[in-house]
Amino acid sequence: MRDYYAILGVSRNATPDEIKKAYRRLARELHPDVNPDAESQEKFKEVTQAYEVLSDPKKKEMFDLGADPFAPGGGAGGFGGGFGAGFPFSDLMDAVFGQAGTRGPRSRARRGRNATLRVELDLAETAFGTTRELTIDTATVCKVCSGSGAEAGTHPEQCDMCHGRGEIQQVQRSFLGQVMTSRPCPQCGGYGSVIRTPCRECSGEGRVRTQRTIKVKIPAGVEHGTHIQLAGEGEVGPGGGPAGDLFLEIVERQHAIFEREGDDLHCTVQIPMTAAALGSTVTVETLDGAEEVDIRPGTQSGQVIPLYGRGARHLNMSGRGDLMIHVNVETPTKLDPEQEDLLKQLSVLRDEERPPGKFAPGQQGFFSRLRDAFHT
């Protein structure tokens, strides 16, 4: 006796839902329309016969008690005689062709595509926000036909081939008998209606290409690469369908003074050696205007002076980043005799005629690094 559970690949305590899922999966794989070879057809018969038994409570009970409903005298009338009276034929149709009645005519109106527009901004505009008027080339609803695609005074008519259903049905003969299949109507393309007189303005598409101008508010704190989504500002879809979204890609122009890292700004100020040694006050440009910055006596080259709250605004948050001023001390390369003499006197006073030289921690010579490499 054949094991119908093994044929479907389920356990003996499988639920009706698990049995149905297993059958639908196998039916889709083995159906003659997918695999027309003789071996697949034979397996398809076995799978269908197994499901007919296990999906019928009475036949399943008979099989579980040790009797094969399809055996001679089993009372089920073998497979060759057609499906048993209790066989759920709709399950076969759902497994192979999908659930009936779910297609129908499809709408001409479809959602439009999304669009991306690059917007170039200066650093001040990205840091503090701005408002821009943007002209975009896009698709809008045809004003002549209001998106219907039909010439003014006409309208789409019901398709005389599918009678508005959007699909046509065909009956095919197979070893199962007569099987009905459905496919989109070739005359109307599945819409259920045809446009006899297309709109001359949009050629029946329901939309036209044009330019329009929109005003956009750029929030403070955006930076290079930020994307801003404007819902419903993209292209109108075919048939006057809803518009897609417009994405603004921010491109930040390079600034002449500042470099940006997140919401912080960085710049470099050059000061003479004497100003670094004696201290001074320098005027520094910021996004808020010129400000005076104190240079403390003894300032070294590479030292960073922060100006808190002078950077870009935080996106969607309160507060601002900082402005980091990197100090670069200039050493004079050309001295006149008087200047050279004064520096020599200073070096004598500071006992620096022969400076000993000092190495910063971690800065080793070549031989020291080579020695450490062999000891690791």
- pLDDT tens for residues 122-163? 999 999 999 999 999 999 999 999 999 999 889 999 999 999
Range with the poorest average pLDDT among 103-117, 277-291, 302-316, 319-333: 103-117
Do 248 and 136 reside in the same domain of the chain? yes
Q: Which two tokens stand for residue 59?
A: 């036949």
Range with the poorest average pLDDT among 67-81, 187-201, 263-277: 67-81
CA distance 334 to 27: 92
- Do the beta carbons of residue 82 and residue 89 sit within 8 Å? no
- Do the beta carbons of residue 108 and residue 191 sit within 8 Å? yes
What's residue 67's pLDDT? Answer: 76
CA distance 129 to 222: 8
Tell me, yes or no, whether 160 lies in a domain. Answer: no
Do 68 and 132 reside in the same domain of the chain? no
What's residue 280's pLDDT? Answer: 93
Q: Where are the alpha helices (DSSP H) in 98-221?
A: 123-128
Amino acid identity at 54: L
Do 244 and 139 reside in the same domain of the chain? yes
Beta bridge partners of 170: 181
Beta bridge partners of 248: 117, 228
Task: Kindly provide the residue ranges of all beta strands, DSSP E only, lying in 219-263, ordered along the sequence.
Answer: 227-230, 246-252, 259-261
CATH code, domain carrying 312:
2.60.260.20
What does the mean pLDDT of the chain come to? 83
What's residue 100's pLDDT? Answer: 43
Task: Read off the DSSP letter of residue 193.
Answer: E
Residue predicted with more confidence, 262 or 102: 262
CA distance 111 to 221: 32
Do 220 and 339 reside in the same domain of the chain? no
CA distance 117 to 247: 6
What's residue 279's pLDDT? Answer: 93
Q: What are phi and psi of 46, to 5 degrees?
A: -65, -45
Query: Measured in whole angstroms, how far is the alpha carbon of residue 183 from the centre of its chain?
Result: 32
- 192 pLDDT more than 80: yes
Tell me, yes or no, whether 247 lies in a domain. Answer: yes
Task: pLDDT band for 33, please (50, 70, 90 cuts).
Answer: low
Beta bridge partners of 134: 214
Exposure of 256 by Cβ count < 10 A (0-12 exposed, 13-18 middle, 19+ buried)? exposed
Task: pLDDT band for 262, please (50, 70, 90 cuts).
Answer: very high
What's residue 103's pLDDT? Answer: 58
Q: State which of 254, 288, 318 marks the end of a domain.
A: 254
Do 295 and 214 reside in the same domain of the chain? no
Do 269 and 243 reside in the same domain of the chain? no
Give the residue-averaged pLDDT of 30-52.
79
Q: DSSP readout, 184-205?
A: E-TTTTTSSEE-SSB-TTTTTS
Say if residue 267 carries a ligand binding annotation.
no
- Do the beta carbons of residue 140 and residue 233 sit within 8 Å? no
What's residue 56's pLDDT? Answer: 86
Amino acid identity at 370: L
CATH code, domain carrying 25:
1.10.287.110
Domain that holds residue 89: 4-97
- pLDDT tens for residues 79-136? 333 444 444 544 554 544 444 444 568 888 899 999 999 999 999 999 999 999 999 9
Tell me, yes or no, whether 104 lies in a domain. Answer: no
* pLDDT above 70 coverage of the chain, percent: 80
Q: How far apart are the first and last CA of the chain?
A: 75
Do 222 and 283 reside in the same domain of the chain? no
Structural domains of the chain, count: 3
- Do the beta carbons of residue 343 and residue 335 sit within 8 Å? yes
What's residue 376's pLDDT? Answer: 45
Range with the poorest average pLDDT among 30-44, 139-153, 177-191, 309-323: 30-44
Give the residue-averaged pLDDT of 229-249.
93
What's residue 69's pLDDT? Answer: 74
Range with the poorest average pLDDT among 59-63, 84-88, 354-358: 84-88
Tell me, yes or no, whether 159 lies in a domain. Answer: no
Give the helix, strand, coil percentages of the chain, each rounded to 5. 25, 30, 45
Tell me, yes or no, whether 49 lies in a domain. Answer: yes
What's residue 176's pLDDT? Answer: 57
Tell me, yes or no, whether 176 lies in a domain. Answer: no
Residue predicted with more confidence, 65 or 57: 57
Amino acid identity at 83: F
Do 205 and 326 reside in the same domain of the chain? no
CA-based max dimension of the chain? 128
Do 28 and 54 reside in the same domain of the chain? yes
- 334 pLDDT more than 70: yes
Pick the closest to residue 310 from 299, 298, 326, 323 (CA basis). 323
Say if residue 162 carries a ligand binding annotation.
yes
What's residue 82's pLDDT? Answer: 42
Do 118 and 243 reside in the same domain of the chain? yes
What's residue 175's pLDDT? Answer: 58
Do 119 and 242 reside in the same domain of the chain? yes
Tell me, yes or no, whether 332 lies in a domain. Answer: yes
Tell me, yes or no, whether 180 lies in a domain. Answer: no
Give the residue-averaged pLDDT of 294-316.
94
Do 92 and 27 reside in the same domain of the chain? yes
Pick the closest to residue 228 from 91, 368, 114, 370 (CA basis). 114
